Amino acid sequence: MLKIYPERLYPEAIEFCKLFLHEKTRPRYVLGRNEYAVSIAKFVDINGFIDDFTSETEFLGKPIVKMDDIPKESMVVSAVIFVVPLTAIEKLRGKGLYCIDYFSFFKYSGLRLKEVPFLRESREDIENNKNKYRWLYDCLMDNKSKDVLSKLLNFRFSGDLNYMQGFEHAPERQYFEDFLELKQGEVFVDAGGFDGQTTVEFIKRCPAYKAIYFFEPDLNNIAFARNNLSGHNNIFFYTMGLATSRNTLRFCSGGGSASKISETGDIEIEVDSIDNQIAETVTFIKMDIEGAEDLALDGSRQHISKDHPKLAVCCYHRVDDLWKIPEKILAIRNDYSIYLRHYTNGLHETVMYFIPEKDRNFKSNLS
């Protein structure tokens, strides 16, 4: 049974916040240099920022230092949020440093820090859609999927990073779990191909593929991907986004893997549907398109209904993706087994898999 637990109180976190704000004889640092780090520096006269991945020496008038160079008596708030917040805390503790994660500091410091909107919106969605999440929990095929959902929802509900224990950053496994059972002759759709690395991983696991359809609207990304994949045959590149039908939409470019369709985008791009662009039968569709998965799934209805492909769909860009995406897919075909996996110890990189069930009768839900 899915359980959302009451928030726990951590006296040690409260004590850290009191010391960080008022004990000025100990050095105080922030790990990271993002907008959350900036919000801390607005309220606390810190000694500097920790960043092991830059040659810069100053930020906001404060020194940038390496983790190994700060005094052992230092206090550190980690502003690492989305991918490896737990890893960051474990690394700080491994150095013997007194530290806290941003989620706890936000909760207990009493400062008007920059919030993580995804957490607030997630909590509201969980409170308003408990039955949807219970339905999803019951749909999941294995205990690991149920455990992933339980941990993710409790982290989203409470901001308690302890729920992310057991997760690791594992990009090499993302989209390619054993239950996919890739076979010779696969026709793969890489929707949101970025730099081509996901397609590289696919080819490693399925060298005898038939064809690959690669969709990426960002010009810099797709140029890099073409070069990255130049030694492979039968890859068809589409410099376009994916949606319900052919259209021109605004797009935020230059964001690397986070480039996305947005009304405030700096350029216009062409978009179209998978159904319009691909004529042959497809066997595996991967989608990571920064919140446009819903539109792209609408534009894949014919292929999903007729071809019954395996699906690996990112479901973390919008707070309600976890239940809306399976609702949409099962409304097209209900003969899928659903698995859930998570590939960081932060908010990003949750993937839902839909594996065709071959022994169930199916009636098309297409109008």
Return the pLDDT at 257.
43
Residue 90 — φ and ψ, nearest 5°? -65, -35
Comparing C-alpha atoms, which of 127, 167, 176, 124 is closest to residue 148? Answer: 167
Return the pLDDT at 340.
98
Residue 49 — φ and ψ, nearest 5°? -115, 140
Q: Are 108 and 158 in contact (CB under 8 A)?
A: no
pTM: 0.92
Return the pLDDT at 367.
47
Residue 149, C-beta contacts closer than 8 angstroms, at least 6 positions apart: 2, 133, 136, 137, 140, 322, 340
Residue 32, C-beta contacts closer than 8 angstroms, at least 6 positions apart: 49, 50, 51, 78, 79, 80, 88
Q: Are 282 and 309 in contact (CB under 8 A)?
A: yes
DSSP string, 120-142: HHHHHHHHH-HHHHHHHHHHB-S
Domain ranges in the chain are 11-108, 130-356
pLDDT by 10s per residue, the chain, length 367: 999 999 999 999 999 999 999 998 999 999 999 999 999 999 999 999 999 999 999 999 999 999 999 999 999 999 999 999 999 999 999 999 999 999 999 999 999 999 999 999 999 999 999 999 999 999 999 999 999 999 999 999 999 999 999 999 999 999 999 999 999 999 999 999 999 999 999 999 999 999 999 999 988 999 999 999 999 999 999 999 999 988 886 666 555 445 445 565 666 878 999 999 999 999 999 999 988 899 999 999 999 999 999 999 999 999 999 999 999 999 999 999 999 999 999 999 999 999 999 855 555 555 4
Comparing C-alpha atoms, which of 277, 347, 282 is closest to residue 309? Answer: 282
Q: Which residues pair with 363 in a beta bridge?
A: none
Return the pLDDT at 262.
56
User: What would be the CATH architecture of the domain defined by 11-108?
Assistant: 3-Layer(aba) Sandwich (3.40)
DSSP character for 29? Answer: E
User: What would be the CATH architecture of the domain defined by 130-356?
Assistant: 3-Layer(aba) Sandwich (3.40)
Do strands 336-342 and 211-215 pair parallel, antiparallel, or not at all (unpaired)? unpaired
For the range 7-12, what are the long-range contacts, defined as Cβ-Cβ under 8 Å and sequence gap of 24 or more?
7/157, 7/158, 7/160, 8/158, 8/160, 10/104, 10/108
Distance, CA of 153 to CA of 125 (rounded, Å): 10
Question: Torsion angle of alpha carbons 271, 276, 280, 286, nearest 10°?
Answer: 40
Q: Do domains 11-108 and 130-356 have the same CATH topology?
A: yes
CA 27 to each of CA 12, 63, 100, 108, 120: distance values in angstroms, whole numbers, following the listed order: 19, 12, 14, 20, 31
Half-sphere exposure for 292 (CA within 13 Å, toward CB): 30
CA 214 to each of CA 126, 190, 218, 297: distance values in angstroms, whole numbers, following the listed order: 35, 5, 12, 16
* Length of the chain (residues): 367
Distance, CA of 133 to CA of 149 (rounded, Å): 9
Return the pLDDT at 360.
54
Residue 40, C-beta contacts closer than 8 angstroms, at least 6 positions apart: 30, 46, 77, 79, 105, 111, 113
Q: Is 189 left (phi over 0), alpha (psi -120 to 50) or beta?
A: beta
Q: Which residues pair with 101 in a beta bridge?
A: 78
